[in-house]
Amino acid sequence: MRAYGFVRVGGPEQQAFLDVEVPEPGPGELLVRVRAAGVNPGDWRVREGSYGTAGPAVLGREVAGTVVALGAGVTGFAPGDEVFGGCPGMVGGWAEQALVTASFAAHRPDGVSPESAAVLPVAAGTAYDALDNLALPAGATLLVNGAGGGVGVPMLQLARSRGLRVVGTASPAKRDLVAGLGAVPVAYGEGVVERIREAAPDGVDGALDLVGGPSLRAVAELVPADRLFSVADKPLVKQLGGREVVRNRDTSVLVELARLVAAGQLDPHVSRVRGLDEAGEALAEVENGHARGKIVLVPGG
């Protein structure tokens, strides 16, 4: 079958279309005919070797599609079911057919499009798990550092649905986006700590960092160390006494996210749908930081 991935670890020049065998679902796996697949920063990090995956390999960490076959021990699904979920080993979704981990898959409700469902497991799932890790009570103030990105957008919505007051740092170009999602926007750059203090005069109860580096170091002083989490810079957050987000890759998380989408309480913000022929351009847009909202690939597009 036709797929898109990389031939060896490295930069964008290693990306290519691949002719690969249709995979056989192993124990605990589903084989699905892909209807939509999400594009994430983790995809180019896989290509660069950050997760230890050597090429040639198919990219893609999340998909929505139609079940074709079941691996051993899989229950609750049947061929023909419309599902969405995460791909095993964090690779494999940018193809005509792909494997999905059954324990991190869910039935797609009729009110949720394949394009919306396909982008829930990675970014929205990370945001959901981060909120569970933080465990802040309603009325608390949450700082989201990097609120205008792929994880930040669902994070703002999910946090507000739990009754949290949210302050979000972002570029000036994303100020209206952050404000429109119910957060108090604060611009990046020199003086950001003072601006956050002005936006949250009673202090910040917890923080999720989606930027890392000096930006994470700057905001770390605003929160207790045990309420500082980072997705973007795990070594630094641990050095600062904080923690990385522990993912809960379970069907129950996907069921709840899909319910929120169907109820109109969570907008995945799919900004662009591209055909698989445009996979390289889609990944470049994400890697260069130019994507506004989520990008979805459609193999038949």
Active site residues: 51
pLDDT for the residue 19? 95
Supply φ then ψ for residue 4, to 5 degrees.
-130, 135
pLDDT for the residue 50? 86
What are the pLDDT digits (tens) for 142-168? Answer: 999 999 988 999 999 999 999 999 999
What are the pLDDT digits (tens) for 248-292? Answer: 999 999 999 999 999 999 999 998 899 999 999 999 999 987 677
What are the pLDDT digits (tens) for 10-68? Answer: 999 999 999 999 999 999 999 999 999 999 999 999 999 988 888 899 999 999 999 99
pLDDT for the residue 301? 60
Q: Which of 64, 71, 73, 69 is nearest to 105 (CA)?
A: 64
pLDDT for the residue 189? 86
CA dist., res. 278 & res. 275, Å (int): 6
pLDDT for the residue 116? 97
Q: Which two tokens stand for residue 97?
A: 């057919």
Residue 293 has pLDDT above 90, yes or no: no
What are the pLDDT digits (tens) for 185-237? Answer: 999 888 999 999 999 999 999 999 999 999 999 999 999 999 999 999 999 99
Q: What is the DSSP string of the chain?
A: -EEEEESSSSSGGGEEEEE-PPPPP-TTEEEEEEEEEEE-HHHHHHHHTTT-PPSSEE--SEEEEEEEEE-TT--S--TT-EEEEEPGGG---SBSEEEEEGGGEEEPPTTS-HHHHHTIIIIIHHHHHHHHHH-PPTT-EEEEETTTSTTHHHHHHHHHHTT-EEEEEE-GGGHHHHHHTT-EEEE-STTHHHHHHHH-TT--SEEEESS-HHHHHHHGGGS-GGGEEESS-HHHHHHTT-EEPPP---HHHHHHHHHHHHTTS----EEEEEEGGGHHHHHHHHHTT---SEEEEETT-
